[in-house]
Amino acid sequence: MSTIEQLRERFIAKKASATELAREAIARAKKHADLNAFITLDEVGALKAAAAVDAQRPEGPLAGVPVAVKDLFMQDGTRTTAGSKILGDHVAAYDATTVQKLRAAGAVIIGKLNMDEFAMGSSNENSAFGPVKNPWDQARTAGGSSGGSAAAVAARIVPGTLGTDTGGSIREPAAFSGIVGMKPTYGRVSRYGVIAFASSLDQVGPFATTVTDTAHLLAAIAGHDPKDSTSADRPVPAYARGLEDGVKGVRLGVPKEYFTDGIAPDVRRAVDAAIAVYQKLGATLVDVSLPHTEHAIAAYYLLCTAEASSNLARYDGVRYGLSKGREAGLAPMYDRTRSEGFGDEVKRRVLLGTYVLSAGYYDAYYLKAQKVRTLIVRDFQKAHEQCDALITPTVPFTAFALGEKTQDPLQMYLADVFTVSCNMAGLPGVSLPCGFDAKGLPIGLQLLGKAFDEHALLRIARAYERETSWHERTPPGVA
């Protein structure tokens, strides 16, 4: 599978049509159907869109390139399920802003990707459409909640996809799948038309096999959107420019709280080796501290569940989606619709969120979690006064077996221990491959940058990628 840059060049040079490229991607999706990466493979819609691209001959940054999006993104006339039974037959009536921007850049969307239900999960095992399997080992998770987005890129079905990251849902599956995944600064990319989980934490971002392709995707979707009140009205840099400028003189912060005894030995060795590469390239290491990291998981799961409780109240069987028990009256309809439509993890989070927002508990839980969030923001501000970016493991371990953590939600939540703080602070973060463990499973390196400094973060990531070949490896059976 070629990169975004290579496919675009083929299209611009008329060596391949958008229709040919779309057919190739669809064929790869069918070949790797056992990964369960797609909820909807839109062959008819994709070929129609490709034909329109061929007729228009655009020269945008994604011209002719086949891509796919997580099944949270509204796409007019296409089934959009959020991985849930409650929206199992829902057909979107409009396009998300990011979908519009992909098309404006010349991309062809070939389908909607599998995910944890309403983006709630770290393993893609909460999907109503079954788990996504990791291309490196199909007995293991591809990560969550954007598991389909990661697997589709890792298996080279498409060169780029979109996902969402609420507490690590781009970076964790990118790490587990051996690819690049980026969570931009909160407000950098519009959330309009993206089904909400936790509105103050959700952020749209790209997956790709290389840092350069990640930069092209981010440039295509970033920018102010008046339809999204949280969208930042700031200029969008040309992210692909200056990527080769290196890291000489760059200060990389090493937060002691992210290098604990709980990290798997292979992960620790790979990340330490990556840090050594940066030193060789001229970066300076700075010891920093994020002292409130230990409270991040607890605070995050109070805040995100509270917001989920509010956001998911709209799924009541009245206006759209699944509706059960209408004949018995309003209360029975609510009860049956939500009981049968939501999976166990979504119910768990809605119940927890409703509890922490309830009278008598709001101050004890939700308000206290908001105060912890403020402290975490301040931790990052102080750390970034001393450095340009932070370097950490993405996840403390490699991809775990399907079914291994499903009976212990707390253990599942701990997969996010190194990723949730970034979301609570609204900062950009990127995961890129930095090695493999003894079982041949990918290891992820995480870089955390300053607000709206994605350009520098991508340049730092590219410097490491250029010196290594981890991103060139493909899973068994993938060409």
Q: Which residue has the tokens 């990707």?
A: 113
At 449 the three-state DSSP class reads strand
Q: Which residue intervals of 264-367 are DSSP H helices?
A: 265-280, 296-311, 330-341, 344-357
The number of helix segments (H) and strand segments (E) in the chain equals 15, 13
The CA–CA distances, whole Å, from 228 to 60, 71, 196 equal 24, 19, 12
**Other C-beta atoms within 10 Å of 360: how many?**
6
Residues 426, 420: Cα–Cα separation, whole Å: 10
Residues 35, 468: Cα–Cα separation, whole Å: 28
Residues 266, 244: Cα–Cα separation, whole Å: 29
- As annotated, the active-site residues are 70, 145, 169
Q: Which pLDDT score is estimated for 1?
A: 62
The CA–CA distances, whole Å, from 220 to 103, 156, 206, 214, 239 equal 9, 20, 10, 10, 10
| Cβ–Cβ under 8 Å, residues 430 and 171 | yes
CA-only gyration radius of the chain, Å:
21
Q: Which pLDDT score is estimated for 178?
A: 98
Pair of tokens at residue 313: 């109240």
pLDDT in tens, 61-102: 999 999 999 999 999 999 999 999 999 999 999 999 999 999
| Cβ–Cβ under 8 Å, residues 376 and 290 | yes
Across 292-315, b (16+ Cβ under 10 Å) vs e yields: bbebbbebbbbbbbbbbbbbbeeb
Angle at 381 between CA 292 and CA 305, to 5 degrees: 50
At how many degrees (to 10) do helices 454-467 and 211-221 cross?
A: 160
Per-10-residue mean pLDDT for the chain, 479 residues long? 93 98 98 98 98 97 98 98 97 98 98 98 97 98 98 98 98 98 98 98 98 98 98 96 97 96 96 98 98 96 97 94 92 95 97 94 95 98 98 98 92 93 98 98 98 98 98 92
Q: Which pLDDT score is estimated for 256?
A: 96
pLDDT in tens, 213-248: 999 999 999 999 999 999 999 999 999 999 999 999
The CA–CA distances, whole Å, from 181 to 165, 211, 359, 431 equal 10, 9, 40, 5
CATH code for the domain defined by 4-250: 3.90.1300.10
Whose CA is closest to 265, among 160, 411, 393?
393
Residues 431, 394: Cα–Cα separation, whole Å: 6
Pair of tokens at residue 77: 């006339």
Domain ranges in the chain are 4-250
Residues 144, 165: Cα–Cα separation, whole Å: 9
Whose CA is closest to 366, among 355, 379, 350?
355
Residue type present at position 418: F
Residues 222, 184: Cα–Cα separation, whole Å: 9
Say if strands 284-288 and 429-436 run parallel, antiparallel, or are unpaired.
unpaired
Pair of tokens at residue 366: 């939700």
User: Partners of 69 in the beta sheet?
Assistant: 112, 162
Residue type present at position 138: Q
Residues 185, 192: Cα–Cα separation, whole Å: 16
Across 180-197, b (16+ Cβ under 10 Å) vs e yields: bbbbbbbbbbbbbbbbbb
Residue 33 has, within 13 A of its CA and on its CB side, a CA count of: 6
At 141 the three-state DSSP class reads strand
Task: Please state the φ and ψ torsions of residue 214, each to the nearest 5 degrees.
Answer: -60, -40
Eight-state DSSP code of residue 291: G
Residues 459, 243: Cα–Cα separation, whole Å: 4
Residues 22, 36: Cα–Cα separation, whole Å: 19
Whose CA is closest to 4, among 221, 299, 173?
221
The CA–CA distances, whole Å, from 426 to 48, 166, 192, 448 equal 38, 10, 17, 11
Q: Which residue has the tokens 């080279």?
A: 156
| Cβ–Cβ under 8 Å, residues 383 and 287 | no
Q: Which pLDDT score is estimated for 250?
A: 98
